[in-house]
Amino acid sequence: EAQVTQNPRYLITVTGKKLTVTCSQNMNHEYMSWYRQDPGLGLRQIYYSMNVEVTDKGDVPEGYKVSRKEKRNFPLILESPSPNQTSLYFCASSQSRVTGELFFGEGSRLTVL
């Protein structure tokens, strides 16, 4: 089954404690992206990757890092989380950047105390 898998689905952490949200897709997609979704603000892009070792900033990259060492994986790293990073995070993938047909993961709800 084609899918995008995120872990963890739910996480409560404290300010400053480094964490990683993993994302893996099994569709051999070139393009992967991270979004955060906040009430009243909609989906905002954090980082994206057009292929292995190619990453770029989205609209709200501050406080986040990413890496793309393998085609299937695109982890999101919060080096020193802060309460304003409390949000619902989605990983998405597509065949290429030129298509808007994104496949989304189930989401990771992060709370930073």
Q: Which amino acid is at 22?
A: T
State the Cα–Cα distance between residues 37 and 92, nearest whole angstrom.
13
Binding to another protein (CB under 8 A) within 18-37 occurs at: none
64 binds another protein (CB under 8 A): no
113 binds another protein (CB under 8 A): no
69 binds another protein (CB under 8 A): no
**Cβ at position 36, least distance to another protein in Å:** 11
State the Cα–Cα distance between residues 76 and 56, nearest whole angstrom.
13
Q: Where are the beta strands (DSSP E) in the chain?
A: 4-7, 10-13, 19-25, 31-38, 42-51, 54-57, 65-66, 76-78, 87-94, 103-104, 108-112
The residue from 1, 40, 62, 69 that contacts another protein (CB under 8 A) is 40
Residue 59 is encoded by which pair of tokens?
Answer: 């609209």
Q: Which stretch binds another protein (CB under 8 A): 19-27, 67-75, 79-87, 97-105?
A: 97-105
62 binds another protein (CB under 8 A): no
4 binds another protein (CB under 8 A): yes
State the Cα–Cα distance between residues 8 and 107, nearest whole angstrom.
9
Q: Give the footprint of another protein on this chain (CB under 8 A).
A: 4, 40-45, 48, 58-59, 90, 92, 98-107
